[in-house]
Amino acid sequence: MMSLEKILWDNKLHVFLIGSGGPFNNEKRVAPCIAIIANGEFILVDIGPGSYRNVDLLRLPVTHLNSIFLTHFHSDHIGDLGEANMMSWVNGRMKPITVHGPEGVDKVVNGFIMAYELDSEYRVAHHGKDFVPPEAGVLISKPIKLKNCNERELCFDRNGLKVFAFEVNHFPIKPAFGYRIEYKGNVIVITGDTIKTDNLVKHCADADILFSEAISYDLLNNLADSARRVKLTRAVKLLTDIQDYHMDPIAAAKLAKEARVKKLVLVHVTPPLLNPKTENLFLKGIDEHFDGEVVLGEDRMKFNLNPKEI
């Protein structure tokens, strides 16, 4: 199948919301993943379970995939790392993928390499070294260490595309990062999983698009109440515990306002919203806190930004 090669070279910043969901499986949204394509560069931020399938369905030019940035190592953000490596290699990627992330990324990457080692050997034995060069089909880990936990660190700078990592508060997961991506005057920020902090506001400043995580405390509490009535104590604990290290949509709206962002896209949408009524409840009250454009993220949404600078 033909891939979208032409978007690599059209001078625009292309952003694809690959996975707009959170950790709870549902039919509408897979786990977190965002693709960024500009000037021959193709990177992914997070690669949650089910997301690589959407990369394929969008026909993105995976032979050019060169880096994956992980915000942290909760399973909903890393589950398809092995698939991304294996399938883009089999489809013609001729260079390794660098996996950037907080300290600990070596352990995660080495584990995926080990899990896929036998399959890599099968592919080479079956198709031959020229077709699937073994040295290309690997992941290389690159830990990011911030010199100062309040400052962002430039961790990727190629062909005008820059990626900065900054620390977020997803305690007890530490460190956890958000990423700020810049290309020819446009700014995209991806919060990762976090609560709202002053440091987060600082690094989201003046973004053209802010992809903010959002979980609805109201909807989760409704679910917890129902679970309590039927004595599903494990579900009650999970639905309650997750609220202490995530933002709700109102916090995301306040963040967007304070950081003066132009467009807010809500991602990591939790709990699953399976009808318009729950979507309205999820978004309720946001317009009282942010008067810019708000988008309820959906899988495979596309955003194209024209360059502001030559």
Separation CA 52–CA 58 (nearest Å): 10
Which one of 49-57, 67-75, 147-155, 282-290 is the stretch in contact with Zn ion (CB under 5 A)? 67-75
- Interaction residues for Zn ion, span 128-187 (CB under 5 A): none
Which one of 122-130, 191-199, 275-283, 286-294 is the stretch in contact with Zn ion (CB under 5 A)? 191-199
Q: Is 193 in the site for Zn ion (CB under 5 A)?
A: yes
Least distance from Zn ion to the Cβ atom of residue 253, Å:
19
Q: In angstroms, what CA-CA distances link 89 with 48, 133, 139, 227?
A: 19, 9, 11, 44
What phi, psi does 148 have (nearest 5°)?
Answer: -135, 125
Least distance from Zn ion to the Cβ atom of residue 93, Å:
27
Least distance from Zn ion to the Cβ atom of residue 189, Å:
17
Separation CA 265–CA 151 (nearest Å): 24
- The residue among 70 and 155 lying less far from Zn ion, judged by its C-beta, is 70
Q: Is 76 in the site for Zn ion (CB under 5 A)?
A: yes
Residue selected from 12, 74, 123, 152 as contacting Zn ion according to rule CB under 5 A: 74
- Structural contact between residues 79 and 48, judged by C-beta atoms closer than 8 angstroms: yes
- Contacts of residue 261, Cβ cutoff 8 Å, sequence gap at least 6: 189, 204, 206, 207, 208, 209, 210, 292
Residues in the chain: 310
- The residue among 89 and 179 lying less far from Zn ion, judged by its C-beta, is 179
- Structural contact between residues 145 and 131, judged by C-beta atoms closer than 8 angstroms: no
Least distance from Zn ion to the Cβ atom of residue 141, Å:
19
Which one of 37-45, 74-82, 198-206, 221-229 is the stretch in contact with Zn ion (CB under 5 A)? 74-82
- The residue among 38 and 204 lying less far from Zn ion, judged by its C-beta, is 204
Reduced to 3 states (helix: H, G, I; strand: E, B; else coil), residue 299 is: coil
Which one of 76-84, 102-110, 220-228, 290-298 is the stretch in contact with Zn ion (CB under 5 A)? 76-84
> Among candidates 84, 89, 88, which has minimal Cα distance to 124?
89
Q: Is 80 in the site for Zn ion (CB under 5 A)?
A: no
Footprint on this chain of Zn ion (rule: CB under 5 A): 74, 76, 193
